[in-house]
Amino acid sequence: MKIALVGNQNSGKTTLFNLLTGNNQKIGNWPGVTIERKSGIIRNTDYEIVDLPGIYSLSPYTIEEEVSRKYIFEEEPDLIINIIDATSIERSLYLTTQLLELDTKVIIALNMADIVEKKGVYIDINKLSKMLNTTVIKISALKNTGIEHLISHIRRRDILDNPHSKIYSKSIEQAIDKIKPDMRHSRFIAVKILEEDKMFSHYQSDESTTLIKKLRHEFDSDSEEVIAGERYSYIDKIKEKAIIIKKTKQSVTDKLDRIFLNKWLAIPIFIIIMTLVYMLAVGLVGGITVDFVDTNVGLFSSWLGGKLETINTSPWLISLICDGIIAGVGAVLNFVPQLIILFLCISILEVSGYMSRIAFFLDKLFRKFGLSGKSLIPFIVGSGCSVPGIMSCRTIEDEAERKMTIVLTPFVPCSAKLPIIIAFSSFFFSEYQGLIAVSLYFLAILVIILSAIIMKKFIYKGKVSAFITELPEYKLPSVKYVLRDVFDKTWAFIKRAGSIILICSIIIWFLLSFSWRFEYGVEIANSMLAGIGSAFAWFFYPILGEYSWAATVSAIQGLVAKEQVISSMAIIAGLSEDVTNGSLIFSSTGIFGFFTPLSAYSFMIFNLFSAPCFGAIGAMRRELGSTKQMLKAVTFQTLLAWGFASLVFILGKIIGGIF
Ligand code: GDP
Ligand code: MG
């Protein structure tokens, strides 16, 4: 037997799925799209169960809805478990009314039984089951109650056929009867024909067209709207008879919202919170740890170098290990303490429910720019890493908005960009480093809004999707969950240092230590890397006010990984002037000595907003679905970053000249 798990997002499908299947799970992708496909065997049975993407109706507006609908029609499960979040039953029943029109049997699992009554919702299961004419079972997927009951129903095959109750007004029911095709799901298809759903347009006939016209005349509105309206009034009737909703007294969430989501205070509070987060992570913690770690890495490096020398290791190997690997990987690992603090703060803000609530609040503002609160979710995810951020754009219904969000997500400073921000701001803006860091964060928001305006005007025109996600409540973050989240993200960062950064460090060391004629130990100005950098240095002249091959090659390496910019600078600085004690990238006599606070700022801007790393570019290509669109997007990002960085540098020069 094949069973499909169908329900709204966040109704508890995945929780129930994991509970039912235990370890018997298979995860893959749906054919043709990159949405995760989970299937498994219910414990102690041979029933296959599939966790479908969360949907709100069977009229596909999003890729998820399309996938779920296709599954139901093309793979014909024997049974649908319609899982409903009992605390928002009204909204969930809309999908139920559609499912009950199918010929596939439906059993309803009323989830969240553990919290419904706390929310002041009382449901008469018997009445509900009678009115819907189908089996309804109360469960809690989280607390594991009612599950045995659910399984035993499935085992006994004790499930009624769908009743196909006549829920619409007479003229619609008559029309349905007239145009019902002689095949499976006939009632469902008849309704779809009346709704003029494109996917069923090949069933249209002269008769149905006349009927649709007649209905439009009778109701003075689209039949799609009329049918939706009648579904809702049917749901209202059910609600009246089977559900009692008591007003609970004002919850903590409501009280907090009055402050955090206050019309005037919400944005200032958001700014203050983010500023504090960055000042804490970058300013305070960074100030303490950077020098400490840096000095110790330097000491370790010279100690190891000395040891290797005493055992007669050849000079080039010592140089590879100390000046290449330790300098390059160490430069990145320097930032782990700040990252931990930053991840910790963001994770707490996310888990406590604050982030999604501020996204909801900003919804209205973002709509003015062709985005919606939905785009904020990818942005928030993107503050960790752009790749999952870009992937989470799938939940956006509107094609234009989805594509715009994909292109905009890499503008959010991801954790790999943080070493760039911290290294430059701590050296050039010492006591203000926290403020400078947060200024870049807000600059990112500005760049996103500006780009959205540009793209909306010239590239992607479309309407904005509805923002349906309901607000979660504020809750105290679970320590275990937060720590795990912080650990996972930090570990991912460290792993990158140990893999991609390590390999790049070796390559950079090699290119720096050899000339084009493969002579070892040349002046680094004659190295291969210097040659490559010099060829492109003109590109950065308006940003730096200097032809610097070293800064040029470092910035280009941002394509591989953004941390690599700093890692490469550390190796170059180290090799160019025998720094033995710590890797002082910006020593005044060194190769990066030309940097001023102004050019540091404009260089950061370029690195933050130009093309993201290859990983993110790959994700953009997959999600945009075309190489051409990806190339356009990357060009757009890079030109924008270049223009913006040059503008800042030139304006800064002019203003500096006046004062
Ligand atoms: P999906 O989007 O339908 O797959 O939903 P999930 O399974 O991811 O669940 C969404 C959220 O609801 C998670 O935070 C779950 O822990 C929570 N949840 C799921 N089932 C229950 C339940 O029975 N009771 C309560 N209180 N929470 C639940
Ligand atoms: Mg899920």
**Nearest Cα residue to atom 1 of ligand 1:** 10
pLDDT value for 488: 87
Q: Is 582 left (phi over 0), alpha (psi -120 to 50) or beta?
A: left
Pocket test for ligand 1, best of 6, 8, 10, 394 (most atoms within 8 A of CB): 10
Residue whose tokens read 């009034």? 233
CB atoms under 10 Å from CB of 599, counted, come to: 24
Global model pTM greater than 0.85: no
Rounded CA-CA distance 357/585 in Å is 41
Hey, what are 224's tokens? 């799609």
Rounded CA-CA distance 72/81 in Å is 12
Please state the length of the chain. 659
**Lining residues, ligand 1, CB within 6 Å:** 7, 9-15, 54, 111-112, 114-115, 140-142
* Cβ within 8 Å of residue 232, ≥6 positions away: 94
Rounded CA-CA distance 469/472 in Å is 9
- Ligand with an atom nearest the CA of residue 38: 2
Residue range 150-167: average pLDDT?
Answer: 85
Ligand 1 atom at shortest distance from the alpha carbon of 140: 23
**Nearest Cα residue to atom 21 of ligand 1:** 142
Q: What separation in Å is there between the alpha carbon of 12 and the centre of ligand 1?
A: 4
CB atoms under 10 Å from CB of 628, counted, come to: 9
**Nearest Cα residue to atom 9 of ligand 1:** 12
Q: Is 185 left (phi over 0), alpha (psi -120 to 50) or beta?
A: left
Residue type, 128: L
**Nearest Cα residue to atom 25 of ligand 1:** 112
Q: What is the DSSP letter of 130?
A: H
Q: What is the DSSP letter of 284?
A: I
- Ligand with an atom nearest the CA of residue 139: 1
pLDDT, tens only, 30-54: 776 667 788 999 988 899 999 998 8
Alpha helices in 311-417 (DSSP H): 315-319, 327-333, 336-351, 354-367, 373-382, 386-391, 399-408
Domain 170-245 architecture: Orthogonal Bundle (1.10)
pLDDT of residue 496 exceeding 90, the answer is no
Burial class (CB in 10 A: 0-12, 13-18, 19+), 255: exposed
Chain Cα centroid distance, residue 421: 22
Phi and psi (nearest 5°) for 158? -95, 55
**Nearest Cα residue to atom 2 of ligand 1:** 10
Pocket test for ligand 1, best of 50, 115, 142, 143 (most atoms within 8 A of CB): 142
pLDDT, tens only, 261-314: 888 898 899 889 988 888 888 777 776 776 777 778 878 888 998 899 898 888
Does domain 2-156 match CATH 3.40.50.300?
Answer: yes
Q: What separation in Å is there between the alpha carbon of 67 and the centre of ligand 2?
A: 14
Ligand 1 atom at shortest distance from the alpha carbon of 9: 2
- The residues facing 48 across adjacent strands are 2, 41
pLDDT, tens only, 587-643: 777 888 899 999 999 999 999 999 998 889 988 988 898 899 999 999 999 999 999
Hey, what are 457's tokens? 């005007």
Question: Among 166-175, 333-342, 523-532, which is the least confidently predicted range?
Answer: 333-342
Domain ranges of the chain: 2-156, 170-245, 268-658
**Nearest Cα residue to atom 12 of ligand 1:** 12
Cβ pair 390, 410 in contact under 8 A = yes
Q: What separation in Å is there between the alpha carbon of 38 and the centre of ligand 2?
A: 9
pLDDT value for 582: 45
Q: What separation in Å is there between the alpha carbon of 412 and the centre of ligand 1?
A: 29
Q: What separation in Å is there between the alpha carbon of 409 and the centre of ligand 2?
A: 23
- Ligand with an atom nearest the CA of residue 37: 2
